[in-house]
Structure 1
Amino acid sequence: MKWYFILLCTVFLFAETTVAGQNQLSNVFRKFRNDEGVKHINLSGDVTKMLAGKEKNLKSTVQEMHVYLFTGKSFINTNDIARVTKALREQKFELLLDTRDKKDKIKIHGVEKNGFMTDLYAEVLSGKTKIYLILKGNILLSELSKMNFDFEGSGILKNIPIP
């Protein structure tokens, strides 16, 4: 009986650690959801149909999407940036794209499995707007610019230089 209890506790602890690791990136942004100057969009389920728009032949699927839109002076502080960097490193995100032009800057990180990005994190800085985008699903990077992101400041995502 004692061994069953120990085994059950071990399995529970492992499962709890795994779930906490998966949500670590979202947890960094959770505290900003109700702040002034921050808009949060959270969609879950089969988000692909909404994002596909007129594009009917997308191979990508998106099960969950979080968008954090910071405007004005409501950017995140250096401690939170360090927590994001730590979460990206611990969850084995790779830097896929880091590009900038005169007014915009984009960084995209992802976790790849079987040719698809299972987790995607994007930082977009455009003027006085900063967008943080977290996607979960099976996403082809080449289809990211074809997706119909329709929110304030999302136009920059249409011009991502990905083949």
Structure 2
Amino acid sequence: MFGDDSLLFMKYVKGRSNAVYPWSLSIVDCYFIWLAFCKVSGSDRPLLSRISADGEQIEDVLIADAYDIYEIDSRAEGFEVVLRHHSSGSLCYWDIHERFVVAVGGRDFLEVVSPYPGGIEKHRYIEEMMHREAFGIDEPPEVIYAAISNPFS
């Protein structure tokens, strides 16, 4: 798949169990992501690291609610971004090409971040990304999803 060899993708996503979201998260997605970070951190205000610029820019971010995740998502446009909980290794990754957002982590994180079956996750991704082909994304959503999806087994 084009673009899956970036430094941040290779370091944080490739080969790890994940849940795949369409580009641009809904506030409901952000809520489940926030809950998952709360679970793995043991806090209702998890401290995460926002990583960008090929890992050169790292800043601590305190996530108080789903709206904080939503704001990070809104600002990710055109950038490759990782939002990571250090001790658990759980994270969210925003694709620089604006094709997907991926949540990565262990079973405890992924069960909260993606509370629906994999078939529904895939259907949702494909359905919501069909319109992106008109914006210059050459690969069909089915191909992109198949290339990045790695559900927890």
TM-score range, shorter chain: 0.3 to 0.5
Give the TM-score normalised by the residue count of structure 1.
0.32
| Larger strand percent | 1
| Larger helix percent | 2
Larger gyration radius, structure 1 or structure 2: 1
Structure of greater relative contact order (alpha carbons < 8 Å, 6+ residues apart): 2
Give the TM-score normalised by the residue count of structure 2.
0.34
